[in-house]
Amino acid sequence: MGKKIIISVGLVLALLGAAGLVWYYQFPEPPVEPDDPDVTLHPVEKPDEPVEVTSLDPLQEYLERDPEDPEGLPDDEVITDRFIRDLANLIFRNYHPAEDPGKEGSFTLSFKELNMHYATELTGLSYQEQEVLQAREEILGHLLQPEVIDLVVRRYGPELFDRLVHLAETEPREGHTPQGLQERLLESRETAEMLDIVARRLEQLAHVFSRTAREEPVLKRMREYLDTVEELNSVYFEYWQLDESHDERRSELASRIKQLIMQRENIRGKIVNRVSTPEIAEAGHDVLYEVQWIFRRVEKGGFSRDSIQAMAQAGEDLARMARDKADELVEE
């Protein structure tokens, strides 16, 4: 069937996560000054040419299939069973039941951590290109199309959540029991809670993606943020090259550094306030990182806002699947 699809977490966590691999390697986080985590002594890289998007023609015949019949959709040549197993295990291991049955458990997998998890070897994915960066571009060029995103969710979403439930029923976890800390299987209520928490995280991520895609000022401010960080990097670099015999210039640079830090934080706050909610902040999302990922996809990759909006919709659809699965467990 030619080039096909790649998937992602929860899946959008992994749709988004696997897609973030190109950004992770082409725009890595450099060493930082200890008192200023956004500043480095290295120049910010300039965007490359946009990624060429793969043709959708080979998939067209499948796009109108019944969304309630994932078995009727074709297997994908890019996504292997190993990828689905690895993704399900990653989600499962990042859910932690509460010590007190009256409290809610926690979920520790972030969007950034997901990117880093798949950044080295593209675990469980098949591709034709031999070079890693080119392979990521091949995958992204196919993945970040609205119709493909929709198809991936329909085909693999149910399978992902079935595997999560299977892990909960067969893989012991260290947890608190009346006899103390022991290896045990998750209780049905804990499995349902895990699915509910994942659904909530997906909805929150979808909110950030949707707001960022819809509102032009968000990406404009992100461009201003990155320009400010780039200038701050340059000023820091010059500052640390001067010795004490250049006190006057060092004083000027120190003043400029303070101004740029204030400017950067002001822009950061405006971005986060525009796309976030108190619940998203409380859940620990790195909203700025998520918006910057979107900025790179649109500004560098040449992908449309429709693709970003499709990913937001995928998050909502996957959240609904997770909650439906949780409801099944509660009713049993």
- Residue 224 forms part of a structural domain: no
- Residue 295 forms part of a structural domain: no
Predicted confidence band of residue 312 (pLDDT cuts 50, 70, 90):
very high
pLDDT of residue 209: 97
pLDDT top residue among 211 and 152: 211
pLDDT of residue 60: 52
Task: Look up residue 96 and give its amino acid.
Answer: H
- Average pLDDT (6-14) is 44
Is the pLDDT score of 330 beyond 80? yes
What is the chain's mean pLDDT, rounded?
80
- Average pLDDT (258-280) is 96
Lowest mean pLDDT among 36-40, 42-46, 110-114, 310-314: 42-46
Integer Cα distance of 40 and 42 in angstroms: 5
Percent of the chain with pLDDT over 70: 76
- Residue 284 forms part of a structural domain: no
Domain housing 189: 12-214+304-331
pLDDT top residue among 189 and 99: 189
Cross-strand bridge partners of residue 106: 96
Lowest mean pLDDT among 45-54, 207-216, 278-287: 45-54
- Average pLDDT (160-169) is 97
If one counts the domains in the chain, the total is 1
- Average pLDDT (175-183) is 75
- Residue 48 forms part of a structural domain: yes
Is the pLDDT score of 2 beyond 90? no
Is the pLDDT score of 175 beyond 60? yes
Helices (H), 171-277: 188-214, 216-241, 247-275
Structure tokens at 166: 């299977």
Mention every residue, 6+ apart, whose C-beta is less than 8 A from residue 199. 318, 319, 320, 322, 323, 326
pLDDT of residue 45: 36
pLDDT of residue 299: 87
- Residue 226 forms part of a structural domain: no
- Residue 274 forms part of a structural domain: no
Express each pLDDT in 41-86 by its tens digit.
333 333 344 434 344 444 555 555 555 565 667 776 677 788 889 9
Cis peptide before 288 (omega within 30 of 0): no
- Residue 253 forms part of a structural domain: no
- Average pLDDT (196-212) is 97
Integer Cα distance of 184 and 147 in angstroms: 41
E strand spans, the chain: 95-96, 106-107, 173-177, 180-184
pLDDT of residue 11: 53
Lowest mean pLDDT among 125-134, 201-210, 323-332: 125-134
- Residue 230 forms part of a structural domain: no
Ranked by mean pLDDT, which of 82-86, 171-175, 323-327 comes out on top? 323-327
Express each pLDDT in 228-256 by its tens digit.
999 999 999 999 999 878 889 999 999 99
What's phi and psi for 80, nearest 5 deg? -105, 165
Is the pLDDT score of 264 beyond 70? yes
Q: Measuring CA to CA, how many Å separate 138 from each of 19, 21, 141? A: 11, 12, 5
Is the pLDDT score of 282 beyond 70? yes
